[in-house]
Amino acid sequence: MDALSGKQRIGAAFKTTFADQKPQMDRIPAYLITGQCNAQLIGASIKEWLQDPQVFVKAQVAAYERFRPDILLMMWDLLMDAEAIGNELKYPEDSLCITTKAALEDKGKLGSLQLPDPQKDGRLPGYLEAVADTKKIVADAIVSAVIAGPWTIAIGLRGATELIRDALKDPDYVHELMQFCTRQSISFAEAIIPLGVGLGYSEAPASCSLISPKMYRSFVFPYHKQIVDHFKARKVGIGLHICGYADPILEDMVNTGVTNISVDAPTDLAKAVEASRGRAVLIGNLDTNLFYSGSREEMRQAVKNCIDAAPSDSGYIISSGCEVPAIAPPEKSEWFYELVDELGQIN
């Protein structure tokens, strides 16, 4: 059959999952979580890429034109919200921004925090501008926004060690903070939805690599469910990405009601298939170390393992389990797409 567009492949994956259809597919859908590594494609520093929305657009379009992913993920950074709320950040030339002063170093300041205006405050307007401009340029693939979920924002504002300690010693405070961060996650998403792009939340620190399943269920799951229910009422589907080891909370992730879950390499893909089949499109879980230190044969075997673990009737989309490293050679991303073309054909 003739090659499909990225939009057609992604649409077929969702129909396979939710409509109990088996639409014709030429190959398994594929994309990579690439953000900061795209800066090298246009000779920009990561600092320039983070601070200039048009540099961000140029890098994203360059990645699309070189690799032709089925989804072009608009991955900037996950401190946008915390910065707009009050964090002070440092921008190194060639690495992601880092917090130098957190807004809730003094936890007592929570009551004084204000939700930012996505159209005016911090870099939030720049992100909206970049997403809108990129969608005008990229026609054949899904352009999808990815923003911080409430647990990620809370850790950005308070600090990981401090927030986990608070969860143990002052749970009411953590729930109050999560309610605030959930309002922010919804507010930013509401500004993105009119742009007509896909939308997913990244919750890297919500995995069982950092917190226990009990802590996820107590302090994170209720707010993920609240967000999903909010957008379901508006007939808007959203995705959820959790890095690290997520086996114990796979059912919880699906039970939030998201339309897709994205899982990292430490998560058992076969278990994720069983948890998500017929309920959520499954995305992931190729090890990102392959894009820095892996050989082509190692990547080939990893791609094959993913495809074998997630049969075509599962609606699976192969992707990196997390963000491809900033210093990953672009040729290794090319390997990935070449190998998916070779191994991912569907007859």
Q: What is the pLDDT of residues 121-162, one digit of tens each?
A: 999 999 999 999 999 999 999 999 999 999 999 999 999 999
Amino acid at 289: N
pTM score over 0.75: yes
Q: What DSSP element (H or E) covers 45?
A: none
Q: Is pLDDT at 22 greater than 90 in this prediction?
A: no
Measured from the Cβ of residue 23, the count of other Cβ atoms closer than 10 Å reads 14
Please state whether 235 falls in left (phi above 0), alpha (psi between -120 and 50) or beta: left
Predicted pLDDT at 300: 98
Q: To the nearest whole percent, how much of the chain has pLDDT over 70?
A: 99
Predicted pLDDT at 346: 85
Predicted pLDDT at 314: 83
In which band, very low, low, confident or very high, does the pLDDT at 164 lie, cut at 50, 70 and 90? very high
Burial class (CB in 10 A: 0-12, 13-18, 19+), 90: exposed
Predicted pLDDT at 1: 64
